[in-house]
Amino acid sequence: MSTMFRPWPWALVGLTFCAACPGFAKGGKLLVIPMDGSHWLSMHEVVQELSVKGHECVVLAPELSMHIREGQYYTLRTFPVTFSKDLFQELMGNNFHKLFDPEPFLKKFPDMITTFKKVIDMYLSFCTDLVYNKELIKSLEDAHYDAILTDPVFPCGALVAQYLSIPAVYFLRGLPCGLDAESTQCPDPSSYIPRLGTENTDQMTFLQRVKNILYPLPHNILCHMSYSPFSRLTSQLLHRDMSIVDVLSHGSVWLVRTDFVMDYPKPIMPNMVFIGGINCASAKQLSQEFEAYVNASGEHGVVVFSLGSMVSEIPMTKAMEIAEALGTIPQTVLWRYTGNPPSNLSKNTKLVKWLPQNDLLAHPKTRAFITHAGSHGIYEGLCNGVPMVLMPLFGDQMDNAKRMESRGAGVTLNVLEMTSDDLSKALKTVINDKSYKENIMRLSALHKDRPISPLDLAVFWVEFVMRNKGAPHLRAAAHDLNWIQYHSLDVIAFLLAIVLTVVLIAVKCLKFCFQKCFGKKGKAKKATKSKSH
């Protein structure tokens, strides 16, 4: 790489800008408002890299947090919250256990909605505790941050950025209900862009296109439920009416954790930067423990099995079904599982409380990956070219799974309905049918074939926003138009009115002329006729 690209004078540009923004030369100041859970894990790498490059990074998080801890590369600043610690632990802890509940969807639905509402109330409560903490807000103002890096899935960071008038960089997989498209003014035709949860691909039949339009409608109610409290909070703070799109459209640059190997090609906007695979760029050497497992696996190699950082145990019945299936393959299975071991566990299956997923997937002896199809896991499978058995649980996971399946790189199973035999068959298929390995290797190569690593790209754009105090030149003028103007409906109505007026006048004139020319003759004829009677 070092000899591949000629020097480009952006370093010089940095200096030019430093004249206008003193302090940037010796490193900028970045406020990070992350989303807890797996979302923080990949953002963490960007923060680390920015810190290595000399920027001062402050991570702001509520005192109740799962994964956001003190770190070597940033200052963690927590703020006190009023939300109950017990409820927090109940909501974030074993809540995902319910996903495996075999009850019918309609029976589970009210319970799911209640939990969902509680989660939103929790994030809203955190956000209210943040923005009404006068001392904290004052100190954030005084710190004069160059930019805020935030995950907008719960838009507290976006809200703070707008409240403090600090340029924002968003770091996200996507937003529900097309809010990301709406907030970037990005066209989003439903005819070939599959909607969240539909499991459609970009090639849809007529009925799939009907589903693609109808399916999101109930989602919009959930969206309204989730986001309107945040827009109300912003409206209160800014003393003007703010929609959630107004709040989110403050983002200068959107770092989107996807690419067009994983996602289907679609219109994008100039301030959207695609950094899919940011979490799997650098695989490290395995620890002795895991190296030993892999080496002992012999010619058959290993299968890696994890349902993500949020789901580490599952109901015993399901665990036993899975354990039975895992015993039918000759590979060694490394299963991340913290619950009680199923009694029927085979010798080839090793339960571990944690596993170095990306490093294991990068090992040449890894034959398959059983995953819940979270975007991080999918990219780790993709980067390392490992065929997948996909067991999606919630959110975008069904769609991620569909993307891999539609490209022949994996087999999707319904975790609630699948039998032990289904899992066994799926595993044998992705391991023994060479087309799965070939397809994932082709996708992996395509994914990596890019001029800059996603991590460097993300770091570049955060720095860009820091040194340029935003990116207004990338903000489409569509933000200043209302719906009628955007679609030129006013112009079309105006032109139609002119055409109609002209036609009307022309018809009137013709009628008048016709009457003038032929009217008298007509009358004359009539008169002649009357006389002849």
Which residue, 143 or 457, is less far from its own copies as judged by CB?
457
Tokens of 272: 């959207």
Q: How many residues bind its own copies (CB under 8 A)?
A: 73
- DSSP label of 346: -
Beta bridge partners of 251: 168
Per CB under 8 A, the list member of 132, 486, 512, 518 interacting with its own copies is 486
Question: Closest separation between CB of residue 257 and its own copies, Å?
Answer: 16
From 21, 25, 76, 457, residue interacting with its own copies (rule: CB under 8 A):
457
Tokens of 310: 């949020």
Candidate residues 195, 367, 372, 467; the one interacting with its own copies per rule CB under 8 A: 467
Which of 261, 345, 351, 411 touches its own copies (CB under 8 A)? 261
Backbone angles phi, psi at 154, to 5 degrees: -115, 120
DSSP secondary-structure letter at 82?
Answer: -
DSSP class of residue 256 equals E
Smaller CB separation from its own copies, 486 or 518: 486
DSSP annotation string for 156-188: HHHHHHHHTT--EEEEES--GGGHHHHHHT---
CB nearer its own copies, residue 153 or residue 273: 273
The nearer residue to its own copies, 309 or 358, going by C-beta atoms, is 358
Q: Which is nearer to its own copies, 17 or 100 (CB)?
A: 17
Please report how close the Cβ of residue 377 comes to its own copies at its closest, in angstroms: 20
| Nearer of residues 452 and 509 to its own copies, judged by Cβ | 452
Least separation in angstroms between residue 327's CB and its own copies is 35
Contacts of 244 (CB under 8 A, 6+ apart): 155, 179, 227, 228, 230, 231
Q: Under rule CB under 8 A, which residues in 385-414 are in contact with its own copies?
A: none
In the bound state with its own copies, the residue whose beta carbon lies nearer, of 120 and 177, is: 177
Supply the minimum distance, in Å, between the C-beta of residue 57 and its own copies.
19
Nearest distance from residue 526's CB to its own copies, in Å? 47
Minimum CB separation of residue 465 from its own copies in Å reads 11
In degrees, rounded to 5, the angle at the alpha carbon of residue 24 between the alpha carbons of residues 22 and 28 is 130
- Which parts of 489-508 interact with its own copies (CB under 8 A)? 490-492, 494-495
**CA of residue 271 relative to chain centroid, distance:** 16
Going by C-alpha positions, the residue among 319, 336, 390, 398 that lies closest to residue 100 is 319
CB of 371 to its own copies, least distance (A): 22
CB of 2 to its own copies, least distance (A): 4
Shortest reach from residue 425's CB to its own copies, in Å: 29
* Among the listed residues 10, 109, 354, 518, the single contact to its own copies using CB under 8 A: 10
- Rounded to whole angstroms, the Cα distance separating 181 from 263 reads 15
Minimal distance, residue 487 CB to its own copies, in Å:
7
Note the Cα 506 to chain centre separation in Å. 56
401, 422 in Cβ contact below 8 A? no
CB of 254 to its own copies, least distance (A): 13
Q: Which of residues 431-450 bind its own copies (CB under 8 A)?
A: 441, 445-446, 448-450
Task: Confirm if 400 and 373 have CB atoms less than 8 A apart.
Answer: yes
Q: In angstroms, what is the minimal distance from the CB of 394 to its own copies?
A: 26
When binding is defined by CB under 8 A, the residue of 231, 271, 331, 332 that contacts its own copies is 271
| Cβ distance to its own copies smaller for residue 205 or 288 | 205
CB of 460 to its own copies, least distance (A): 5
Q: In 3-state terms, what secondary structure has residue 521?
A: helix
Binding residue (CB under 8 A) for its own copies from 269, 316, 352, 416:
269
- How large is the greatest C-alpha to C-alpha distance in the chain, in angstroms? 122
Q: Is 123 exposed, middle or buried (0-12, 13-18, 19+ CB in 10 A)?
A: buried
Instruction: Provide the β-strand partners of residue 335.
Output: 305, 351
Which is nearer to its own copies, 116 or 192 (by Cβ)? 192
Structure tokens that stand for 289 in this block: 């423990």
Task: Collect all residues with Cβ–Cβ distance below 8 Å to 529 and sequence separation of at least 6.
Answer: none
**Integer Cα distance of 207 and 213 in angstroms:** 10
**Of 218, 270, 298, 519, the one binding its own copies by CB under 8 A:** 270
Which of 87, 223, 281, 416 is the binder for its own copies (CB under 8 A)? 281
Query: Which DSSP symbol is given to 78?
Result: E
Q: Are 243 and 383 in contact (CB under 8 A)?
A: no
CA 47, CA 169: separation in Å to the nearest integer? Answer: 12
Element (H, E) at 444: helix 434-448
**Residues 216 to 255: which contact its own copies by CB under 8 A?**
none
Q: Which is nearer to its own copies, 78 or 453 (CB)?
A: 453
485 near its own copies (CB under 8 A): yes
Q: Alpha helices, DSSP H only, in 77-104?
A: 85-92
- Which C-beta is closer to its own copies: that of 381 or that of 395? 381
The burial of 521, by beta-carbon neighbours within 10 Å (0-12 exposed, 13-18 middle, 19 or more buried), is given as exposed
Site residues for its own copies, window 179-218 (CB under 8 A)?
A: 186-187, 189-192, 202-203, 206, 209-210, 213-214
- For residue 214, give every residue at least 6 positions away whose Cβ sits within 8 Å of its Cβ, in sequence order, or none: none
Q: Which of residues 152-171 bind its own copies (CB under 8 A)?
A: none
Spatial separation of the C-alpha atoms in residues 145 and 141, rounded to whole Å:
8
Options 418, 464, 466, 470; binder of its own copies; rule CB under 8 A? 464
